[in-house]
Amino acid sequence: MKKTTIAILSLILVSGSTAFGQGTIFFANRLSAAIFNPVYMPDGTTPVTGPGFSAQLYAELGGSLTAVGTPIVFRSPGTAASGAWPGATVTIAGALPGSTVQLQVRAWDNSFANYAAALAGGGLAGASPIFTSGQLGGDPGGGGLPITDPNIVGNVNAINNMQSFNLQVPEPSTIALGVLGIGALLLRRRI
């Protein structure tokens, strides 16, 4: 009887906390000309621009980085915001307002479906170092005041900001090169 009561109370608490809301964050790498951490092409100086590239936020939930929100296409070339995407509020399911989470931004070439596909297919892709969010926004419920969404850049403590990063072409794996070498040796031996 006691175990059943505890299980029911736990279920009520969990469902009650998710009913109050999820944590939110403002996903933008440019807040102004002075608060801007652009994403660059492999040369490290040319900003990523246009609909050919997307960025997505990943949050550490349950011990692994998970995509949150939807991918956002980079701004058009020739603007002051080259290297940036339009900002959007992203909900992080499983993270309560007022909490902090580990985050990473990933960007890739849109000729691939997502970041993992770009890596696997040898496309341009890159990721920021993992960083800690500010206190997530949202409505904490229970009579608490709503918390304003934190930004991923421009926080007082620079360690807790998304840092600029470059897209890279993934290097072929050592195993793939080894298999290619063995195949070439076998082919040579037959000729």
Q: What is the pLDDT along the chain (191 residues), one digit of tens a residue?
A: 554 444 444 444 444 444 457 999 999 999 998 899 999 999 999 999 999 999 999 999 989 999 999 999 999 887 778 999 999 999 999 999 999 999 999 999 999 999 999 999 999 999 999 999 999 999 987 777 899 999 999 887 666 899 999 999 877 664 455 556 667 766 666 66
Q: Residue 144 has what pLDDT?
A: 79
Nearest Cα residue to 39 out of 80, 103, 85, 5: 85
Inter-residue contact 71 to 54 (CB < 8 Å): yes
User: Which residues contact residue 109 at a Cβ distance below 8 angstroms, ignoring those fewer than 6 apart?
Assistant: 52, 53, 118, 123, 124, 125, 167
Q: Residue 9 has what pLDDT?
A: 40
Nearest Cα residue to 132 out of 107, 108, 106, 150: 150
How far is residue 91's CA from residue 130's CA, in Å, rounded to a whole number?
18
At CA 108, angle to CA 105 and CA 111, rounded to 5?
Answer: 155
How far is residue 109's CA from residue 115's CA, in Å, rounded to a whole number?
8
Q: Residue 5 has what pLDDT?
A: 43
How far is residue 173's CA from residue 161's CA, in Å, rounded to a whole number?
31
Rg (CA), the chain: 22
CB atoms within 10 A of CB 74: 25
- Backbone CA torsion sign across 158, 132, 65, 130: positive
Q: Residue 173 has what pLDDT?
A: 61
